[in-house]
Structure 1
Amino acid sequence: MEVTGKREINNFSCIPCEESDVLTQADGFCTNCEEYMCSSCFNAHKKYKLNRDHTLMDCNEEVTQRESSSEFEKCELHLNEPVKFYCAQHEQVGCGDCMVIGHRSCKVDYVLDKANDLTCTKELESLTKRPEICKTEAKRLLSSIKDNKVQVDDINDKFKQEVNLFWEEMTTQINNLRDFMLIEGECIKDRDNLSMTKLEGETESIINDLSVISDLFESKVQSPSQLFVCSVSQKHKLDRLMKQLNDIKSRNKIEPYEFIKDSKITSTLESLGHLGRLQENKDLYDQEDIIEQGVSKPLKTFEDTARSAVSTPLLERQLICRHVKVDGEYLTYADNGNGDVGLYVDKNEIVDGTYLEIEILSLGRRGTIALGLVTDDYPANKHLGWRQNSIGYHGDNGQLFHKRGKGTQFGPTWHVGDKIGLRTYMLITCR
């Protein structure tokens, strides 16, 4: 272990001689003036009445007292030995035992010398400020963590809402298909009932006619001539009635029907392992999952009220981010294949009159980028202006939408390279 900067007696110079540009070895240390002096300077020093009580301490003794004083930290590993050495190679301080055990081959410095060199330097100032800087960062991180904790419940509530909404939509659709199928069956049933009712009436009418003819024949049994005449006269009627019976018999048919499952629906149901899939933001950023992209560079501000927001990364400022990739100061729409609205909401409050601007770098496949104003409870899956409490300008058709899905012509359509400005609160949606 090589120790540099550790002062032996012959390394101390006389301070008064140094002030006269003379290099003289110190013979001792004046404990009253706290200066190293040679014998000549100390004797001259004591000639003055005010300095006659001053004492000159041996340099070795002064160093020993200095090392045992509270100026040194105590080593926690070696029975409170003073921490007197610094290893620059490992950036560690320790007592003599620490240096012998762990830094035998290192070049170490004397702590007091390093401390004297460090005092009032920018390095020390920077070092002492680091705790507060780190503390500020930690507080900012803690605030972000607390915001994320709030978002945990919000995201889960939204997730459950979307699952239940999809279930309701699916159930409604299936119920509609079931009702339509049942109506088809009811129509066939009503048609067959109507047909059978008609045949039933016709058959009963023929039975009545035959009963009349039968009664007529029975009344003529005692008179052969009358029976003959009656049989001849009723023969054509009987033939007609038999013909009607044969016709009814041929029409006495119903159309059997049964329910056949739709093969596509059956196959889909059998293949389903889940109602859907839970997709985290990190999956949305996977380029293999991105079907189409619309890219914009957001929040270029020209007023002081928005400069503080721009200085903070978008990823740290995001309050809500769905189907949108955040890359530095760029937002990219990431379609999941269902055409869901992409949304980025900045959690920083923007006061009235603040001017914000985005630059269109790519329109994607559809180019339906919209800017507008909404309340904080606006549904995240709806384009701007389509619902109450919202107004939005849509760049694909240049129309302004206000509280409904029908827009009015407002301005030009957007193209790559266009810059679009907005004042007050901004919400960006994409599809």
Structure 2
Amino acid sequence: MATSSPTEGRFAQVLQCPICLETLRRPKVLPCRHTYCNSCLQSHISSKVINRGTPQAYFPCPVCRANTTLPDTTESVDQWAELFPVNSIVSSVLDVSEETFDEKFCDFCVKWNRETSAKSFCKDCKRLMCTLCKEYHNETLSDISHNVIDLSIVYNISIRIPSLSTIEKCIKHLNKNIEFFCMDHSSLCCNTCGFLEHRKCERVIPIDDMIKTFDAKSKSKYLETNIRNIGEHMKQITSKIKENADNIQKDKSAILKDIRSLRAELNAKLQKLEDDLIASLEGNHKAEDLTLHNQEVRGQSLITAIGSDLTQLDLVMTHGSDVQKVIILHNMEKNQDRYFKALSEYQEELRCIQIELEVNKNIRDFINDVTQFGQITVTRSQTKLPPCPVVTVSQPTLETFSGFSGTPLKDRQAVKVAEFIVKLSDDTSPCYISDVLTLQRAKHVFVDYNNEKIKVYGENFQFQESRKLQGRPWNACILPDSNMAVTLPHKKTILVFRTYDKMHSVREIKTRLECWGIAVMKDQLMITTAGEEHCIMILAINGSEIRTVRPDNYLSEKLLKPYYVKINKNETVIYISYNGGNKMVAYNTSWNVLFTYTDQDMNGPHGIDTDREGNIVLCGYSSCNVQHISTDGKLIKTLITKKAERKVPLTIKFYRDMDRFFVTYLKCDNVKVYDMCD
């Protein structure tokens, strides 16, 4: 008997095109790993391509909006979709799902007009055989080894696994396997990519070395959680849209009732005005309902794509090789960001729509004077939804990769490689960049104490946005929920912002004392109080004060004015710079002193950071220098001298896991970028 394919339920989301919402036909995969029908992709490219006719032609992915460059713009327009590779995983699933399970008959018996159920299949002869014919076949070909298999294995879909080998292929060079990982750009690459795009990168390691320290299970868990949370959040949004559509339908019904009750009091002249108003209502409702419908469809498309990714993730994590897991998880991590960006854009576009009737106050005198019955108005307001929960997981530090090699940082020199202006046209004072925060996606946040702003710059130091604050900000850090916390010491306030896409204020935390430096350790906030009590406040993430810490000998040792705090990567050491005592102190997690750093050439310690090897870099406010210090508190060298810059350094911040750092200066509109060079 014929049965339905088990794959229909298991791979339903994988097989659905996000554009037409039908089963994929000739599935084509984009670099962002989203898959579409060949014809659907062709139509989308034709209508959405930007810079048509130029080598820079590109189009946005319909799901995640990632820009995709056309591989060959010289091809004819109707062949553009053909330029992209076939998703062989989906194709194999489609092949499986299209197979039928009708009863098969022995090919040899059929020749003798007998219908005997086939039990085996010879791969060499390409023949189906019953039990008897199989025995005859094996005896006849006893000297030849033919591959005969049981039909139950051939048609047992539940144990057929689609080929995952294409995951290992480079998306840019389809005939090449991915063999390396560039830590400078967080990019997987083949031999060709490595030579063309990463030959100048210092940290390119074999993928086998990456696998040795790659916690695929943990990464899979948090990626699956994040993507599932985004999918669930998208479901909430589409549910809100449907609820909104139902509400405006009720609005429409209520307005129609009002219109018809008024019409009963009017004469024939009112008929035309009533028809016109109803037409206006219908038109507005149709337009707004269509808008909500389109938004709902788009949301469903994203949900489908997310479900597809989760299915593929489950498939690879269950049956894939280590290399395949690394690759699919790396791709899923990028898709997570794209999904979150698409979710943010999607949520920003949503408006709560309400249809209302504005009745003319002189309606009863309208016969001679009024030319219209009323007016249909549409009100759109921002839909209020809770933020999407996205969890984070600690990533392995660069030094854990066995493939890294290079000159130790202690043997390198700081060389200035760039300088750019952070002063904006509406800034009223010289810039006083008291902190720098490096985020994902090449974004950098500059905290401007003088101009009461936080400023965001992207790749190539291009300005993106700024936020005016009601007070002077000093320090910033990333919270466990990926939001950003900024201290306003004189307001005794910590502001929390969402950092994905544009900044959005999330909440405020009020503190008992002035809050200057801020860092996160083990889900707790470490706050320095430079202006009051010279102590360290420890707060819960929600802002509630847990306790304060202050060494008993803080007066005798002049541990005064702690402006900056830094936690090492392993969250085992806390570094605090005491401007009032010309000291930098290292504490363990029990707040016992590990060492106290002083130097005759270091005056007024301010900004503090650690490089990727764990060494400490410290800015001298009064001595106008930056020193490089070992993990045991010994001076390695002076990176930047007063003679070289003749400016007062405020803070120093390394790029995320790189050998490049920012330095900011007192009342200076420029930020300088240095590399640690041989």
TM-score range with shorter-chain normalisation?
under 0.3
Q: Of Structure 1 and Structure 2, which has the larger fraction of its residues in helix?
A: 1
TM-score after normalising by structure 1: 0.27
Q: Which has the larger radius of gyration?
A: 1
